[in-house]
Amino acid sequence: RRMAEKADEKKDSILLTFGSPGEAFYNGVEVSSVDAVTMAGHVGLTPNHVPTLGSLVPSILSVFDKDGRESKYFVSSGGLTVNFDSSVQILAEEAVPLDQLDAQAIKTGAEAARAQLNSARS
């Protein structure tokens, strides 16, 4: 019944709140859409999306502002909530803007972790 009552209230943007324990990236900011990956699969969130809950998996989260510019973030895990009023909350365990990641440092760290794992097995 609540969804039927709200059906005539069309929104043209999403009110996004997105952050991690260390940083708030968006705090009630109007955006046009958000692309996320949950345990159920890829989710494209647009205004007037059906209310839902989701568990984020390690992936790239994309936010599109009202001018169509895309901002990408690596998220490790977390939760996603879409509300009746087209507001969206995304709380990530860890989140980093993609342009702040160092590919070589990630590769070096992964190799070091693999070496430690292999030495622990022998």
Q: pLDDT digit string (tens) for 50-86?
A: 999 999 999 999 999 999 999 999 999 999 999 999 9
Q: Rounded to an integer, what distance in angstroms lies between the CA atom of residue 79 and that of residue 91?
A: 5
pLDDT at 3: 53
Q: What is the largest CA-CA distance in the chain?
A: 64
Band the pLDDT of 2: cuts 50, 70, 90.
low
Q: How does pLDDT run across 81-117, given as a tens digit for each residue? A: 999 999 999 999 999 999 998 888 888 888 888 888 8
Helices (H), the chain: 2-6, 103-121
